[in-house]
Amino acid sequence: MAREALADSRITSEHARILGAAAQTGPMDEPEMVAAAETQTPEQLRRTLRDHQDELAGDDAATKRLERQRNARTASFTETDDGMWRLFALFDPVTARDQGCTRQ
């Protein structure tokens, strides 16, 4: 299904890579997700697939994913040559929302 959509130029190669990776990680209704890929950007498709797979797998999968994300949180500071400091932080979605992070 995804291969045909790619061959017919209904989706991009990035969409096809995203769909292929998702098929390896969990349950997926391929016709539904290919249809979504035809109308969404790759970033939108990633979110749609994540929500779709969480729905198919049940609440436990979403809880486990959030737990993995929380365990992977990190922050670091580095000083630049001119004395300024650079902050790098990786937040789970809940922490990011609580800190006021929004998409632009």
Residue 12 sits in the same domain as residue 52: yes
Q: Where are the alpha helices (DSSP H) in 11-85?
A: 13-25, 30-37, 42-57, 59-71
Residue 85 confidence (pLDDT): 96
pLDDT digits (tens, 9 = 90+) for 36-88: 999 999 999 998 998 888 888 776 777 888 888 899 999 999 999 999 999 99
- Its domain, for residue 35, covers 2-57
pLDDT digits (tens, 9 = 90+) for 2-44: 899 999 999 999 999 999 999 988 889 999 999 999 999 999 9
Q: Which residue has the higher pLDDT, 101 or 73?
A: 73
- Residue 104 belongs to a domain: no
- Residue 65 belongs to a domain: no
Q: Which tokens hold the place of 21? A: 């990776």
Torsional sign, CA 61, 64, 70, 72: negative
Residue 29 confidence (pLDDT): 94
Domain count across the chain: 2
- Residue 86 belongs to a domain: yes
Residue 104 confidence (pLDDT): 61
Residue 9 has phi, psi (to 5 degrees) of 60, 30
- Residue 52 belongs to a domain: yes
- Residue 22 belongs to a domain: yes
